[in-house]
């Protein structure tokens, strides 16, 4: 048989096999998979019959991590349409650009989000949305026979190098990403995951799909709050936690952390930015569970690697602090000059290039940029990495973030890891600033941990004691907190604009 692959199969499986399982927890609201699937059906009916949505139309959602957005992951696709989650931290003008560029047919907006002042028909979540679903038929929506290579989701990149680009993810790619992620990570239906990672960001790291397929439990978190994360871990028996480094630092700094019962946690996975071994060690010591790193991009659905220990070999904290090994279904190569694979010597840098069914179909209506990104049959990530003798990758930098000072390349990530290991530092980013003599020199932007003090000279000395002197920051600037995007990832382009 040749049956089209689509994430809709995951909803069908959950409704048939786990109808009584409470699969979605959102504050006081709890939905079994039968109830969740019925709400997805009503959304699909409403989209088609009341809002005039047709196959291929883009349906935009401006919403934090709520049950409604999770329902959209399936209800929109049931209607044959394409899900278009918007970053809730965008300014209205930026949201208008995405709506115009995508040609969205309708926008669902959470009441806490500002009106984007766009002519697209808008449904405000709350009474209007409830009434819309209430008028829809209370019966299953016919599952469409989709073309597996057609668009299922579009996520717009952050636009740090220009206008945001829409990344088109297909039914086939999303299905295989879910299967391969769950298989590599040994996820089961017994897992309970709190959605710390925004569902409007890179497919929610795949959790909306594989957790539903397996009958696990989604715990929604509309806004990241480290104390609330700890409360939910304890109250709901959360087994896995996904976070970017700034989130993890905030969780570890919660007063009274040790007073929470976190015994249900089995694994913490940190991604979104490189992490130092000190952070992973502190997580394992204080939370009492394994901590690994992961890596991926919007264009790859997103997961590419996990820093899991190799089977049959001793556990290694050093390996878990790397970028990791490719997950099942992903071929990652680090390519140097002339697209030759670099030596596995932990020293030779090259660009991370990827082949996988998870890679995007392309950028929405941007054929030239798509061709450039997929040149030679590889997706070119723009990330620079090395590979050790056992095949573990370590991201060295973004190609555009490498600082060239007096002809020497300085890895901003390497300097950041050294500064992050200082006991007073909560957040750090290193960028290149213009210098008349050297061309560029490193500048560090630092936010301090509560109750700690340190001056710029001490941090520079800290770096010089651990790095070649030319790599140490020439200047250090302090802020109460560093600017971040919707996932908590530090926005270096905003720091560069500050000078």
SS3 content of the chain, % helix, strand, coil (to 5): 35, 25, 40
pLDDT at 160: 45
Which pTM does this prediction carry? 0.88
pLDDT at 489: 81
pLDDT at 158: 65
Tokens 């979104």 sit on residue: 272
pLDDT at 89: 82
Q: Which two tokens mark 373?
A: 């990104």
Those residues with Cβ within 8 angstroms of residue 373's Cβ, 6 or more apart along the chain or in another chain: 299, 362, 363, 379, 380
The domain segmentation of the chain, as residue ranges, is: 8-387, 402-498
CA separation for the pair 47, 62 (Å, rounded): 16
In three-state secondary structure terms, 361 is coil
Q: Which two tokens mark 431?
A: 């960028």
pLDDT at 272: 80
CB 157, CB 102: distance < 8 Å: no
Strands across the sheet containing 439-448: 425-435, 439-448, 475-478
DSSP 284-340: HHHH-SEEEEEEE-GGGSSEEEE-PPPTTS---HHHHTS-BEEPTTEEEEEE-GGGP
Q: Name which of 5, 17, 14 is nearest 39 in CA terms.
A: 14
CA separation for the pair 144, 138 (Å, rounded): 18
CB 39, CB 71: distance < 8 Å: yes
CA separation for the pair 112, 237 (Å, rounded): 29
Instruction: Report which secondary-structure segment, H or E, holds 268.
Output: strand 267-270
pLDDT at 440: 85
Dihedral, CA of residue 164, residue 165, residue 171 and residue 176, to nearest 10: -80
CA separation for the pair 300, 321 (Å, rounded): 22
Q: Which residues pair with 300 in a beta bridge?
A: none
pLDDT at 19: 98
Q: At how many degrees (to 10) do helices 277-287 and 245-252 cross? A: 40
* Dihedral pair phi/psi, residue 10, rounded to 5°: -70, -40
Positive/negative CA dihedral, 439, 485, 319, 341? negative
| Whole-number CA gyration radius for the chain | 23
For the stretch 9-36, what's the b/e string if a residue is b when 16 or more beta carbons lie within 10 angstroms of its beta carbon? bbbeebbeebbebebbbbeeeebbbbbb
CA separation for the pair 56, 69 (Å, rounded): 19
Q: What is the CATH number of domain 8-387?
A: 3.40.50.12780
| DSSP single-letter state for residue 156 | E
Q: At how many degrees (to 10) do helices 207-214 and 67-78 cross? A: 80
Q: Which two tokens mark 480?
A: 């109460």
The ranges of the chain with pLDDT < 50 are: 160-161
CATH of 402-498, one of 1.10.10.60, 3.30.300.30, 3.30.2310.20, 3.40.109.10: 3.30.300.30
Positive/negative CA dihedral, 79, 82, 88, 92? negative
| DSSP single-letter state for residue 440 | E
Q: Name which of 269, 375, 388 is nearest 318 in CA terms.
A: 388
pLDDT at 188: 98
Instruction: Report which secondary-structure segment, H or E, holds 16.
Output: helix 8-17
CA separation for the pair 457, 476 (Å, rounded): 8
């Amino acid at each position: 048989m040749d049956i089209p692959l689509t994430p809709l199969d995951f909803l069908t499986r959950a409704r048939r096999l786990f109808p009584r399982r409470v699969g979605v927890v959102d504050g006081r609201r709890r939905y079994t998979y039968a109830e969740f699937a019925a709400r997805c059906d009503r959304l699909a009916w409403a989209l088609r019959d009341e809002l005039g949505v047709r196959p291929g139309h883009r349906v935009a959602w401006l919403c934090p991590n709520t049950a409604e957005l999770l329902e959209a992951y399936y209800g929109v696709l049931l209607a044959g349409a394409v899900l278009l989650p918007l970053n809730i931290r965008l300014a209205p003008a930026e949201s208008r650009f995405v709506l115009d560029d995508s040609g969205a047919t309708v926008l669902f907006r959470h009441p806490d989000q500002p009106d984007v002042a766009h002519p697209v028909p808008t449904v405000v979540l709350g009474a209007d949305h409830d009434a819309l679903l209430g008028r829809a038929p209370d019966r299953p929506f016919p599952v469409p026979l989709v073309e597996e290579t057609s668009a299922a989701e579009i996520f717009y990149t952050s636009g740090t190098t220009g206008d945001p680009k829409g990344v088109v993810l297909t039914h086939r790619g999303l299905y295989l990403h879910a299967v391969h992620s769950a298989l590599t990570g040994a996820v089961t239906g017994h897992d309970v995951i709190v959605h710390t990672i925004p569902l409007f960001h890179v497919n929610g790291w795949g959790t909306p799909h594989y957790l539903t397929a397996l009958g696990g439990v989604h715990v929604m978190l509309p806004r990241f709050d480290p104390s609330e994360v700890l409360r939910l871990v304890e109250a709901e028996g959360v087994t896995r936690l996904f976070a970017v480094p700034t989130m993890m630092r905030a969780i570890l700094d919660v007063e009274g952390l040790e007073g929470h019962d976190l015994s249900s946690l089995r694994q913490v996975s940190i991604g979104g930015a490189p992490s130092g071994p000190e952070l992973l060690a502190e997580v394992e010591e204080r939370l009492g569970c394994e901590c690994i790193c992961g890596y991926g991009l919007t264009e790859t659905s997103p997961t590419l690697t996990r820093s899991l220990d190799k089977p049959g070999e001793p556990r290694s904290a050093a390996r878990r602090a790397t970028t990791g090994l490719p997950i099942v279904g992903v071929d990652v190569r680090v390519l140097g000059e002339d697209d030759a694979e670099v030596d596995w010597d932990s020293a030779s840098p090259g660009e991370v290039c990827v082949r996988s069914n998870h890679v995007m179909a392309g950028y929405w209506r941007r054929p030239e940029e798509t061709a450039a990104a997929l040149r030679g049959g590889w997706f070119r990530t723009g990330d620079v990495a090395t590979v050790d003798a056992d095949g573990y990758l370590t991201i060295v930098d973004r190609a555009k973030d490498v600082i060239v000072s007096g002809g020497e390349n300085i890895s901003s990530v390497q300097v950041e890891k050294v500064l992050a290991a200082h006991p007073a530092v909560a957040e750090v980013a290193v960028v290149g600033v213009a210098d008349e003599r050297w061309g560029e020199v490193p500048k560090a932007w630092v936010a301090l941990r509560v109750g700690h003090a340190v001056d710029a000279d001490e941090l520079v000395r800290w770096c010089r004691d651990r790095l070649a002197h030319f790599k140490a920051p020439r200047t250090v600037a302090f802020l109460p907190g560093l600017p971040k995007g919707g996932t908590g990832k530090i926005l270096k382009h905003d720091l560069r604009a500050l000078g």
